[in-house]
Amino acid sequence: MDLTRRQLLGAAGALGLPAALAGCGGFSTSDGSSGGASGSADTLTFTTWGTDAEIAGLRAAVSRFEESSGATVSLNVVPYEQMFSNIDAQIQAGNPPDVFRVPYYTFGSYAGAGQLLDLSPHLESGFADRFTPQAWAAVQNGGSPYGVPHHTDTSAILLNLPALEAAGVTDIPTRLEDAWSWDDLAAVATTLRASLPDDQYPFAYNWQGNGVTRWLSWLFQADGRFLTEDLSGPAIDSEAGRAAVEFTQSFFTQGWVPPNDTVTSSTYAQDTWYAQTVPMVWSGAFSIPDAESTLDFEWGATFAPQRVRGGGDFGGNALVATAGTANPELAAALLASVTEEESMRQFCEGASLLPTRADLVEQGITFDVRPDLAPVFLGQASVVRAQDSAQVASPDMASIITVLQDQLEEAFVGGQDVATTAQGLSDGIADAVR
Amino acid sequence: MTSPSAAPAGAPVDVAAPAADERGPSPGRARRGSPGEALAAYTFLAPNLVLLGLFVLLPLAWAVWISTQDTDGFGAGTFVGADNYARLLSDGTFWRSVVNTTLFTAIVTPASMALGLGAAVLLDGALPARGFFRSVLILPMAVSGVATALIGVLVFDENSGVLDGIIRALGLPGVAWQSGGAAAFTSVVLVTLWWRVGFNMLIYLAALQGVGAHLYEAATLDGASAWQRFRYVTVPMVGPASFFLLVMNVIYSFQVFDIVFVMTGGGPRDATSVLVTYAYETGFVTRDQGYAAAIGVVLLLLTLAVTAVRWRTSRTRDLVE
């Protein structure tokens, strides 16, 4: 058949237009389906991000739910960088997924804005009892659960054992009750500072980016709070708050951390440890598989230090259902199912993450990679208190994170004094929760 | 030639003075087409106009509307009129970002154009391995901004970066590329230049192809030196390319985001915070989307103002041989 140029261009345009328009709209998915709440009575959409191990655990849990319920779950895996811009756009367009994964420090923003499903009417009596108190507190908003705590993670100290031994640091805590005090940590850091060359430092702390909430671990260790008990005002300008600022500021003035280990730095603390610029780094258990496959030196882990008490960040993620889901009962059933013992154990052991179920915490789990380190991270997670995790679930956490970043940057890089920083934190948090 | 002379007083050659009969028809004297031709023209323009309206003008109008709201992006916002703009006046981080953005633009735009023109002139000549050098300079264009910034992090990491490694190997103290404000700003500028010079060179290379050899020959016969040939022949004759690049570089510079976001996150202490990173932080981290939209509108106005000023003051934007 002969084609004129006009016919050819017309045909190409007709064929290309739908593809071009398809490229403009919607969001790519792992299984080719588009995102958005399902209309079918027995179908759910579930948007998440995750490592390969996490996705494998989630797929197994979802398959288990599909078999038991007869429902279909469309698992939509997106890169973390796109996750919440996608979710926000879908919510704004009135087309959100039925279920999605969310960090605890972001959970409050959605729950407080009325975008999540109140699970109270959909969960069986006593459902809360399956979780640790601190995990359950992290998914509350106004006294009601708006999600389920799927897993947690918290920071312990990863150690370059040969480097520490070379510096004479050999007394490393192996039991939670023997964890270093702040003074012990200072002594270790001073020893390392004296023995390391100028371009190496004793440790690095993982407070970069949204990890700034991990600074709160020092506040909790000093038995402080950043919000009042009803989460309505600041409580950080206290003896504990000032002690936490003063001690962490000394990391920079004493040369215990690299100058670029700031809260806004683009270099993550863990990379600094990988590069052997520091022999110690605070890190979550999630990094164990990566470290094991990357590092060529002997490494271990120990507990984070304590002051008045132990304290740590309640990291990890919740699973939530959106307020507009067409299938609230089914969505709640999925959330309950993926937090069953078998699903949570398989997920946490495969991905080196910590369970939120009380029974699994009590029994213990065994990581697939470096199982010897699981007790360290489980022990570290046990010092997190419900009063700590409940504060991080504040609906105003997004604004509070910005306040923490600004004020700690001023203290660490700008040399702002302790009293001014504590006052700045307090004023900023007061504005944020107003 | 379609433009009045661009050669300044004292120039040894008047290469740009056109003869009156060479001037094209002015817009005011354009022949009016038949209604059929107009219809055809609008038919051809329609798809672009629809796309422009749908994906540029409508979102712009929407952004202006959002900038008058107090909203976290969920549900209906509260109309606050010009309150978000009033807040900008007393926001120190906003003004720091304005200064940083302006300084970044003022440094990167002329530097990338000058380096691009210099490279283009060099590589337009009979240089050995000319194709190789052109490819090397153009290659960064093929790399995404985020990847470029990640390369920048590898180079400028003050613990284990390549650059500080070299500096220390020379016995000099390392530079605080990440924890020092001025050094961090410099690192962002240097990476941006590495990324953008190739684009400028490419446009200038194309423009140089249109400059006739006879102009240089005439200038040489009139006794013009190499510098004078460059200054009074090359520079005016690539005027339209310069105008295009100026506008594009200003727009790119005002909109810089990925390199700053990945390399420095706006820190330390807002030393590299620019308007787009600040708008992003405000809109998507703090979730104050009305205020973020107001920052975006200010950015648009600044870009339009700079473009308009340059449009009115450029004498060589339409200069062709």
Q: What are the pLDDT digits (tens) for A215-238?
A: 999 999 999 999 999 999 999 999
My answer on whether omega of the bond before A97 falls inside 30° of 0, hence cis, is no
Scanning the structure block, which residue is given the tokens 């299938």? Answer: A327
Interface test with A, best of B159, B168, B179, B258 (most A CBs within 10 A): B159
Contact A259 B285 (CB under 8 A): no
* Mean predicted confidence (pLDDT) in A294-310: 96
Contact A209 B265 (CB under 8 A): yes
% residues pLDDT > 70 (chain A): 91
What tokens appear for A224 in the block? 């402080």
What pLDDT shows up at residue A92?
86
Number of structural domains, chain A? Answer: 2
What pLDDT shows up at residue B133?
83
CA quadruple A90, A94, A99, A101: dihedral positive or negative?
Answer: positive
With a cut of 70, say whether residue A73 has pLDDT above it.
yes
Same domain, A302 and A166: yes
Answer for the pair A315, A154: CB distance below 8 angstroms, yes or no.
Answer: yes
d(CA A380, CA A311): 8
Same domain, A134 and A232: no
Same domain, A303 and A320: no
Residue B279 lies in a domain: yes
- Chosen domain end from A355, A371, A387: A371
Lowest mean pLDDT of A236-250, B18-32, B65-79, name the range: B18-32
What pLDDT shows up at residue B25?
47
Whole-number average pLDDT of chain A: 90
CA A410 to chain B, closest CA, distance in angstroms equals 7
Give the structural domain span for A406: 156-313+396-433
Contacts of A414 in chain B (CB under 8 A): 269
Q: Which of B73, B74, B159 sits opposite A267 (nearest CB)?
A: B159
Residue B171 lies in a domain: yes
pLDDT band, residue A32 (cuts 50/70/90): very low
Contacts of A114 in chain B (CB under 8 A): 74-75
What pLDDT shows up at residue A14?
45
Contact A264 B75 (CB under 8 A): no
Among chain B residues, the shortest Cα distance to A403 is held by: B286
Answer for the pair A240, A224: CB distance below 8 angstroms, yes or no.
Answer: yes
Interface test with A, best of B157, B172, B187, B278 (most A CBs within 10 A): B157
Residue B235 lies in a domain: yes
Q: Which residues of A5-22 are buried (b: 16+ CB within 10 A; e: fewer)?
A: eeeeeeeeeeeeeeeeee
Element counts in chain B: helices (H) and strands (E): 15, 2
Q: Which residues does A90 contact at the CB level (< 8 Å), separation at least 6? A: A27, A35, A36, A96, A97
Answer for the pair A300, A161: CB distance below 8 angstroms, yes or no.
Answer: yes
What tokens appear for A228 in the block? 């009042």
Contacts of B62 in chain A (CB under 8 A): none
Contact B287 A272 (CB under 8 A): no
CA B138 to chain A, closest CA, distance in angstroms equals 27
Contact B285 A277 (CB under 8 A): no
What pLDDT shows up at residue A9?
44
Residues recorded for chain A: 434
Residue A126 lies in a domain: yes
Give the structural domain span for B291: 92-313
Q: Decide which of A413 and B133 is more confident.
A: A413
Nearest to A321 by CA among A46, A123, A137, A31: A46
> B181-209 and B130-138 are packed helices; what angle lies between their axes, rounded to 10 degrees?
130
Q: Decide which of A291 and B11 is more confident.
A: A291
Residue A291 lies in a domain: yes
Q: Which residues does A19 contact at the CB level (< 8 Å), separation at least 6? A: none
Report residue A28: phi and psi, to 5°.
-70, 150
What is the CATH number for A231?
3.40.190.10
With a cut of 90, say whether residue A174 has pLDDT above it.
yes
Residue B47 lies in a domain: no
Same domain, A278 and A304: yes
Same domain, A191 and A294: yes
Q: Which of A84, A113, A402 sits opposite B74 (nearest CB)?
A: A113
Looking at residue A321, its amino acid is: A
Same domain, A342 and A261: no
Residue B169 lies in a domain: yes
Same domain, A175 and A319: no
> B162-169 and B145-156 are packed helices; what angle lies between their axes, rounded to 10 degrees?
30
Answer for the pair B192, B145: CB distance below 8 angstroms, yes or no.
Answer: no
Kindly calculate the radius of gyration of chain A based on its CA atoms and give it in whole angstroms: 24
Q: Which residues does A296 contact at the CB level (< 8 Å), separation at least 6? A: none
Same domain, A132 and A178: no
d(CA B160, CA B170): 15
Contact A402 B178 (CB under 8 A): no
Scanning the structure block, which residue is given the tokens 């787009």? Answer: B276
Residue B72 lies in a domain: no
Same domain, A235 and A272: yes
Residue B77 lies in a domain: no
Same domain, A186 and A226: yes
| CA angle at B58 for the pair B56 and B61, rounded to the nearest 5° | 105
d(CA A152, CA A286): 10
Same domain, A274 and A421: yes
What pLDDT shows up at residue B105?
94
What pLDDT shows up at residue B13?
38
3-class SS of residue A77: strand
Q: Which of A109, A258, A260 sits opposite B287 (nearest CB)?
A: A109
* Tens-place pLDDT, residues A305-358: 999 999 999 999 999 999 999 999 999 999 999 999 999 999 999 999 999 999
What tokens appear for A125 in the block? 């009596």
Residue A139 lies in a domain: yes
What tokens appear for B266 in the block? 């706006």
Residue B266 lies in a domain: yes
* Tens-place pLDDT, residues B59-107: 999 999 999 999 988 877 899 999 999 999 999 999 999 999 999 999 9
What pLDDT shows up at residue B285?
84
Contact B74 A91 (CB under 8 A): yes
Number of structural domains, chain B? Answer: 1
CA A372 to chain B, closest CA, distance in angstroms equals 31
* Mean predicted confidence (pLDDT) in B150-170: 91
* Tens-place pLDDT, residues B258-313: 999 999 989 899 999 999 999 999 998 888 999 999 999 999 998 889 888 877 87
* Tens-place pLDDT, residues A75-130: 999 988 789 888 988 998 889 999 999 999 999 999 999 999 999 999 999 999 99
Residue A384 lies in a domain: no
Contact A413 B287 (CB under 8 A): no
What pLDDT shows up at residue B308?
86
Q: Which of A272, A398, A409 sits opposite B267 (nearest CB)?
A: A409
% residues pLDDT > 90 (chain B): 63
Q: What is the DSSP letter of B91?
A: -
Contacts of B163 in chain A (CB under 8 A): none
d(CA A233, CA A227): 6
Same domain, A103 and A203: no
What pLDDT shows up at residue B166?
93
What is the CATH number for B203?
1.10.3720.10
Q: What is the DSSP letter of A45?
A: E
Contact A267 B72 (CB under 8 A): no
What pLDDT shows up at residue B316?
60
